[in-house]
Amino acid sequence: MEERKLTERESLEVITSMIARTKQRYIGDGRILLMWGYLTVVLSALIWVLIGFTHNPVWNWLWFLLWIIGGTLTPIMDKKMQREKGVKNYSDTVTSRIWSTVGFSAIAATAICLVFLLVGGKDAWSMMFAIALIVVPFAEIASGIVVKENSLIIGGAIGLGAGLFTLACIAGHVVLYTSWFMPMFIIAFIAMMIVPGHILNHKARKEA
């Protein structure tokens, strides 16, 4: 493109052409989703096995690794992906803010659980599972609606189903035994993050 004066009609063509070039749908790839998905699944399986063998709930402290590793890697990966893409549009900002809200609510929930733990309310930790299976799916469904990606909406809906079931169990004083709850938690995260993450990566490769 050169630097030159235009006729009015050419001006209109430049405007419509540039709008068309920036209008392509940016779903983004699934790298961050996959990182959180695999991290959660591996850590959940590890904690499940360790608690199963030792019957010691102290292994639950390993959940903090999720926030430490995920919380450190997410901004690094996000910055790298933004650099690669070269552009940030409105849907990027919206989805980024949705996930930031999830992060802050998780920090707040962790703080509340720790306070409960200090005053002897050990069962407060089950709230973290409900948070993970309700707030995260909601954010995923919202992101899916923003970027018009069905795999995120379906994955989020499966997670939300598991979350509502968990909430009903907590409200109905049903004990969340690791023998059935952990497999359900792992399956929910596979459906919520790993499957959509691979679908997004596949679509991103095809668009490249």
In the set 56, 76, 83, 206, which binds another protein (CB under 8 A)?
83
In the set 25, 88, 148, 202, which binds another protein (CB under 8 A)?
88
Q: How far is the CB of 55 from another protein (least distance, A)?
A: 48
In the set 72, 89, 100, 150, which binds another protein (CB under 8 A)?
89
Q: Which of 93, 72, 98, 71 is nearest to 82 (CA)?
A: 93
**Which residues 113-152 are close enough to bind another protein by CB under 8 A?**
none
In the set 53, 61, 90, 180, which binds another protein (CB under 8 A)?
90
Applying CB under 8 A, does 11 fall inside the site for another protein?
Answer: yes
Applying CB under 8 A, does 5 fall inside the site for another protein?
Answer: yes
Radius of gyration of the chain from Cα atoms? 21
From the list 28-36, 67-75, 80-88, 174-182, the region that binds another protein by CB under 8 A is 80-88
Applying CB under 8 A, does 77 fall inside the site for another protein?
Answer: no
Contacts with another protein by CB under 8 A: the residue count is 28
Residues 31-70 as x/- pattern, contact with another protein by CB under 8 A: ----------------------------------------
* Burial of 2 from C-beta contacts in 10 A (0-12 / 13-18 / 19+): exposed
* Backbone angle region of 120, left / alpha / beta, with phi > 0 → left and psi within -120 to 50 → alpha: left
Applying CB under 8 A, does 97 fall inside the site for another protein?
Answer: no
CA 15, 21, 22: angle at the middle one, nearest 5? 95
| Per-residue buried b or exposed e for 77-103, using 16+ beta carbons within 10 Å of the residue's own CB | ebeeeeeeeeeeeebbeebeebbeebb
Q: How far is the CB of 145 from another protein (least distance, A)?
A: 19
Q: Measure Cα distances from 205 to 70, 135, 194, 199 in Å.
A: 24, 29, 16, 10
Torsion of CA 66, 72, 78, 81, to 10 degrees: -100
* Burial of 138 from C-beta contacts in 10 A (0-12 / 13-18 / 19+): middle
In the set 29, 92, 140, 149, which binds another protein (CB under 8 A)?
92
Per CB under 8 A, residues contacting another protein are: 1-6, 8-12, 14-15, 17-19, 21-23, 83, 85-90, 92-93
